[in-house]
Chains A and B, each alone.
Chain A
Amino acid sequence: MKRSTLFPWILIFLGFLYFFLPLIGTLDFSLRLVKDQITLEAYKNVLTSARFQNTFTYSFVMALWTILAGTLLITPTAYWVHLKLPHLRPLIEFVTLLTYVVPAIILVFGIIRVYSRPPLSILESELGADFLLVMGYVAMSLPAMYRSVDTGLRAMDVRTLTEAAQSLGAGWRTILAAVIFPNLRIALLSGAFITFAMVIGEFTIATFLARPAFGPYMANLGQTRPYESTALTIISLSLTWACIGVMQFLGRGTQGQIQVTR
């Protein structure tokens, strides 16, 4: 029974339009700083601006801290739950779900309230605010990171590897550093890229912790400099998508997307 493929083709074409028109529109707009002329002037303005360089560097560094903190927090936990405490899995899931139930705007609202008054008033200092930003980002990227590590752990034989290392006389630190981490390289890398993509242009948390980050800078620029801000959109988009692309390439066949449950 051969059915017509006309209707499916029309649908795919519509999807194609929806996907590409805003991208083409943005690209086109970003090249029109000078009237009746295609120019890269907007990109030049953005890339040479000191505020762009500062905020981007700041967000980049914060993203790296987030990835480091997230990896160090989540890998041992996921490993340990996998090996010794499988009955804690529902509790971990509950924590993961909290990040869905508490959107970023609510989370930062709570963080401000807790950490701006005694006994935990660390928001006043620059370092404290940076720390809170990174912790907020770790919380935000926690489901993606945990899922990525968990998938990686499922793909290898954690128990055998651990026991083999143990019988060769390795301690827990050696096992984690020399056996588990190297085997999780791909999973951790893909988690890192996805975290980077989520964090680099983040707006809400950075705004309310008053951090000089890239997201708030972008939003600010949008109100005064339309051409520069679309150029910035193209730049940040290419960067994010490069990350996602690398991640998809690394995690071929293993990614279960937005499965809140596991």
Chain B
Amino acid sequence: MKATMQTTQTLSAVSPPRARNISFAWLGVVPFFIFAILFLILPSATLLIGSVQDRQGNLTLGNFAGMFQGVTLKFVAAPSEASLLGVTFPLPFTVDFQSNSIVSAYILSMQVGIITALTGGIFGFLLAYAAVLGGLPKFVRSALLTFSGVASYFSGVPLAFAFVATLGRLGFITVLLRNYFDFDLYMTGFSVISLLGLILTYTYFQFPLMVLVITPALDGLKREWREASENLGASGAEYWRYVAFPIILPSLLGTMILLFGNSFGAVATAYALTGGNFQLATILIFRQIRGEVLQDPGLGYAVAVGMIIVMALSLALYYWLQRRSERWLRR
């Protein structure tokens, strides 16, 4: 990057100065920036402005405060139980959390985002690990990359239909299990239109992305590092614990953050899967645009801006991790 810039400067210094071309060079990118202003910046800025105005157009932070109306969080010193995805575990304190529909939607979106980033991220990493470092034949690796490239574009409405056709009440796997294994999936409380179903569905486009990003990073682990650590007496586990894993951790985490954003901003899959009954933040905005919820328009803008803020924060974190991973994995 630096080098290209320098060459450009030297070249323009050597070639005869043509003031006309140089001073008007920026005109060439004007259409692009006009496009960006009209169809990216202006729409986002309008939401931002709407979010800090009340109905009379006065400046206010009331819309953002409104998002948290009725939300209280208290800790009480009494043991209790919490459950996540059907797994119950004891807690040493009791959380008294009163939520409202907006905060609940955000929490649900973040839950789905974090869980699918983890499931997709870990599964994708293990697959890439198996294909790159597992000692499998070469074709496995290229097949995995091809399938991942293809599967990462399988999202939106068709993906939801595919999962209903597979895990729905009359779905392929459900019927298969019932007919051949005498096991009724839906008797266990499972439903494809549930948090678990949504997570399984999202994971389908999440793990291929992880495979695509982490494979080059695993390729970047130098053979010499392994040999050096073995010469120093490290076991395979120690090599992973102290050398390889710390090196790829930033790009692993960075990619998981991208996966989080990927899921956090998604709406079509969830809408088609649950018919809009599943209250994610994006679905809340979906219904707000349709005029079904939140009578207050300013509140709607605040919810949208809140999403932009979450996305921007996750991207900033991604950049920070990216810089850290480049230290070792420079090609």
Q: A194 — nearest CB in chain B belongs to which residue?
A: B153
Which chain B residues border A236 with CB–CB below 8 Å?
Answer: 158
- Residues of B that sit less than 8 Å from A by CB: 4-5, 8, 11, 21-22, 25-26, 28-29, 31-33, 35-36, 38-47, 50, 123, 126-127, 129-131, 134-136, 140, 144, 146-147, 149-154, 156-158, 160-167, 170-173, 203-204, 207, 209, 212-213, 236, 258, 261, 264-268, 271-272, 275, 282, 285-286, 289, 300, 304, 307-308, 311-312, 315, 318-319, 322
CB-defined A-B contacts under 8 Å, sample of 28 = A3-B135, A8-B129, A19-B147, A21-B173, A25-B162, A26-B162, A29-B165, A29-B170, A81-B29, A86-B4, A97-B315, A100-B311, A102-B40, A103-B307, A110-B46, A111-B43, A197-B153, A204-B268, A215-B268, A218-B157, A218-B272, A222-B157, A226-B165, A233-B157, A244-B149, A248-B150, A257-B152, A258-B213
Contact (Cβ within 8 A) A9 B311:
no
Main secondary structure of the interface of B (DSSP, over half): helix
Contact (Cβ within 8 A) A106 B39:
no
Q: A13 — nearest CB in chain B belongs to which residue?
A: B130
Residue from B162, B272, B315 in contact with A23 in the complex, judged by beta carbons closer than 8 Å: B162
Contact (Cβ within 8 A) B11 A159:
yes
Q: How far is the CA of A19 from the CA of B307 in the complex (A)?
A: 30
Residue from A21, A23, A215 in contact with B156 in the complex, judged by beta carbons closer than 8 Å: A215
Given contacts A22-B166, A104-B267, 18 further A-B contacts (CB under 8 A): A2-B135, A8-B134, A9-B134, A15-B144, A19-B151, A29-B166, A77-B32, A91-B33, A101-B315, A105-B285, A106-B308, A109-B43, A135-B35, A201-B158, A208-B289, A222-B160, A232-B161, A257-B149
Q: B275 — nearest CB in chain A belongs to which residue?
A: A223
Which chain A residues border B207 with CB–CB below 8 Å?
Answer: 15, 18
Q: Does A11 contact B (CB under 8 A)?
A: yes
Residue from A11, A198, A248 in contact with B126 in the complex, judged by beta carbons closer than 8 Å: A11
Interface size class of A (residues with CB under 8 A): 35 or more
Contact (Cβ within 8 A) B4 A21:
no
Which chain A residues border B157 with CB–CB below 8 Å?
Answer: 201, 203, 215, 218-219, 222, 233
Contact (Cβ within 8 A) B311 A101:
yes
The 5 residue pairs across chains A and B that have the minimum distance between CB atoms = A110-B43, A8-B134, A103-B265, A25-B166, A25-B172
Q: How far is the CA of A92 from the CA of B47 in the complex (A)?
A: 22
Q: How far is the CA of A254 from the CA of B156 in the complex (A)?
A: 27
Q: How far is the CA of A107 from the CA of B36 in the complex (A)?
A: 12
Which chain B residues border A257 with CB–CB below 8 Å?
Answer: 149, 152, 209, 212-213
Q: How far is the CA of A101 from the CA of B104 in the complex (A)?
A: 21
Known: A106-B304, A113-B50. A98 touches B40 (CB 8 A): yes
Which chain B residues border A2 with CB–CB below 8 Å?
Answer: 135
Q: How far is the CA of A105 from the CA of B159 in the complex (A)?
A: 18
Contact (Cβ within 8 A) A233 B267:
no
Q: How far is the CA of A87 from the CA of B322 in the complex (A)?
A: 21
Main secondary structure of the interface of A (DSSP, over half): helix
Q: Does A85 contact B (CB under 8 A)?
A: yes
Contact (Cβ within 8 A) B28 A77:
yes
Q: Does A112 contact B (CB under 8 A)?
A: yes
> Of residues A25, A99, A219, A223, which shows the largest number of chain B Cβ atoms within 10 Å of its Cβ?
A25
- Give min CB distance, B290 to chain A, whole Å: 8
- Give min CB distance, A135 to chain B, whole Å: 5
Which chain B residues border A95 with CB–CB below 8 Å?
Answer: 32-33, 36, 40
Which chain A residues border B161 with CB–CB below 8 Å?
Answer: 26, 218, 222, 229-230, 232-233
Q: Does A126 contact B (CB under 8 A)?
A: no
Contact (Cβ within 8 A) A111 B267:
no
Contact (Cβ within 8 A) A11 B130:
yes
Which chain B residues border A250 with CB–CB below 8 Å?
Answer: none
Q: Does A128 contact B (CB under 8 A)?
A: no
Q: Does A182 contact B (CB under 8 A)?
A: no
Contact (Cβ within 8 A) A29 B308:
no
- Give min CB distance, A121 to chain B, whole Å: 13
Q: How far is the CA of A236 from the CA of B161 in the complex (A)?
A: 12
Contact (Cβ within 8 A) A110 B28:
no
Which chain A residues border B25 with CB–CB below 8 Å?
Answer: 80, 84-85
Which chain B residues border A244 with CB–CB below 8 Å?
Answer: 149-150, 153
Q: Does A141 contact B (CB under 8 A)?
A: no
Q: Does A61 contact B (CB under 8 A)?
A: no
Which chain A residues border B5 with CB–CB below 8 Å?
Answer: 86-87
